Structure 1
């Protein structure tokens, strides 16, 4: 991986932190992972300067420049009443990055979400399946996908789902906190998806970035293998915490209303990812155990 020069917008976030840390530990030639305060992807001029600088650094050092966009507006419920803010980050930002990458001939990997699908499937979603987001967050992420794919840049969209990691807030940390606060807990059991450890996803993105030639298919799925409900996920987290999983009981979506609609089924197939010669992410339960073994204190915080 020493032939890399990486720019990772959103580099202080959950996924971006893992992408930059793993790239550096693998010996990437150059890694710049700015947070939103340092690089606002909605600022077209700032984005153009950042990508131009990456291209120049890569050229001077004989490295191959790649942008891995992990920046996103992920407040799913807040997006329902502030879609303009979500659209700016999730659609205008990727459009700016793609335009700059096209101009500088820099490869772009853009991370998207299962929320672009309606959530009414009965088998894992393939990249080419019909989209149909049900909420503002999904609509803005779909707009970002289309902006990237229509830009003319050498770009790939990688959809993922149910991401958790050592940095930032996520479901695993919430369950760990509640385990210490409540004797019994009810968690939605009629929404099914595939939990994804951010470190595993980061490894997958770096494997894709390392390809001398990107795969022919421009939209791919990378998520934890297998499937479970939020209830099943919560019980597995309790097991990793050494707590009694029977303290977690299932409830329905109707029992736990939220401002934004959640997909009832959002499992992502990794078939196209594997057919592209990429290593599929490991099964979600195995990854959860590995995450607690590697960064348990952070997940418990």
Structure 2
């Protein structure tokens, strides 16, 4: 039976991790305000008390780090703070988990890659982040992997869910406000429903308390790929709206402070080879998300 500690537990992924833990398990999902991962003493105390409580109740403790600085554009001028959360905080969690022999799962991002690929990125492919956000997330991965041998990095992409603001919610709102939308059609990725990712992380947690997969870096996204325009058109379809109202445009038409990867599709090969259940096709997941939440 599992016990999960989920720093950053009030975001959309944390929300779904709480719902995904079996009823015979336990989950503690503090918000970033309740557990500041940049505070060494707070992290040490939280992991120590969590591990002791779990073991006293004959549960297997695992930390799933969902805490992150995710404001991609703001990070370009606030890289110090992004680094504190995404890199320093991740390293502090790894150290505390090592000291108390608790496996650590760390959620990372497609932004660690340069985004100029032509086929899905494998976990072992060369990284090369082009943004401050990507650099700080990669630094977090590196700190975790060299600090604690019982840690696993799980990269995902284009996540949406019921627990917070996201692309799906934004498009659903704009569909009711505008006759047409212009959405970027030259960036490719894999939309991922946070509930599917949460289920995958819980499955992985169950594995790591036994032996854990050999590969310590894994990719977990909705299968298949699309563009942001294709994603937006699918949202319109679920709303019963005409997808042709979504017009395509180029990245250069919407300049942003942080560069966006043109291609950030992640391969699920290593995930499947580890014996883990592949996440469902992204379009099927979006349909189920709307059926479950009306607007996820």
Tell me the residue number matched to 2:162.
166
- Please say if residues 113 and 264 of structure 2, whose CA atoms lie closer than 8 Å, have aligned partners that are also in contact: yes
TM-score by length of 2: 0.98
Aligned partner (choices 226, 229, 234) of residue 228 of structure 1: 226
Q: Distance in 2 between matches of 1:222 and 1:29?
A: 23
For structure 2, the 5+ residue unaligned runs are none
Aligned partner (choices 106, 111, 136) of residue 115 of structure 1: 111
Q: Distance in 2 between matches of 1:11 and 1:180?
A: 31
CA-atom RMSD in angstroms: 0.7
For structure 1, the 5+ residue unaligned runs are none
Equivalent residue runs for 1:78-157 within 5 Å: 78-157=74-153
- Please say if residues 183 and 248 of structure 2, whose CA atoms lie closer than 8 Å, have aligned partners that are also in contact: yes
- Please say if residues 11 and 35 of structure 1, whose CA atoms lie closer than 8 Å, have aligned partners that are also in contact: yes
Q: Distance in 1 between matches of 2:45 and 2:23?
A: 25
Aligned partner (choices 270, 276, 283) of residue 285 of structure 1: 283
Q: Deviations over 1:46-87 (max 9, x none)?
A: 000010011101221111110001110000000000000100
Give the Å deviation of 1:31: 1.2
TM-score by length of 1: 0.97
- Please say if residues 37 and 85 of structure 2, whose CA atoms lie closer than 8 Å, have aligned partners that are also in contact: yes
Tell me the residue number matched to 1:181.
177
Q: Deviations over 1:257-286 (max 9, x none)?
A: 111000000000000000000000000000
Tell me the residue number matched to 1:239.
237
Give the Å deviation of 1:29: 2.5
- Please say if residues 101 and 153 of structure 1, whose CA atoms lie closer than 8 Å, have aligned partners that are also in contact: no
- Please say if residues 8 and 68 of structure 1, whose CA atoms lie closer than 8 Å, have aligned partners that are also in contact: yes
SS of the residue corresponding to residue 98 of structure 1 reads: helix
Count of residues in correspondence between the two structures = 294
Equivalent residue runs for 1:231-270 within 5 Å: 231-270=229-268
SS of the residue corresponding to residue 177 of structure 2 reads: coil
- Please say if residues 97 and 148 of structure 2, whose CA atoms lie closer than 8 Å, have aligned partners that are also in contact: no
- Please say if residues 3 and 26 of structure 2, whose CA atoms lie closer than 8 Å, have aligned partners that are also in contact: yes
Further displaced range: 152-161 or 226-235 = 152-161
Give the Å deviation of 1:152: 2.4
Q: Distance in 2 between matches of 1:73 and 1:14?
A: 14
Tell me the residue number matched to 1:53.
49
